[in-house]
Structure 1
Amino acid sequence: MISMNFQLFDAIRPRSTTFITLSDIKRSQMSTYFFNNFINWLRYFLQETSEGNERVV
């Protein structure tokens, strides 16, 4: 779980080091990745196992 937190903070790059705001998510190009972690685990799994050539939306 801690590893996932680090991944999410690295992906979103929030202004604060302790929390992520909605504006941080909207500003980030990784918002789809962020939400797939919580809402759609299958898409998250596909993102983690793909070779980066395809975008899973």
Structure 2
Amino acid sequence: VRASAIAQDADQNYDYASNSVVLHLEPGDEVYIKLDGGKAHGGNNNKYSTFSGFIIYAD
């Protein structure tokens, strides 16, 4: 499963974006963020990302 997002400039100081995905995972599965094509979110030295995961219910 792949989820992607495209962000635009919000103003001259900050950019922002949001996305979400719901996955059914098995023990040992890995979830990670990968930037395609060597691109980074943010400009200059402002390259920040956050990642959160939650168990909605256990099988």
Does TM, normalized by the shorter one, top 0.5? no
TM class by smaller structure: under 0.3
Instruction: Pick 1 or 2: higher relative contact order, CA cutoff 8 A, min separation 6.
Output: 1
Per the normalisation by structure 1, the TM-score is 0.19
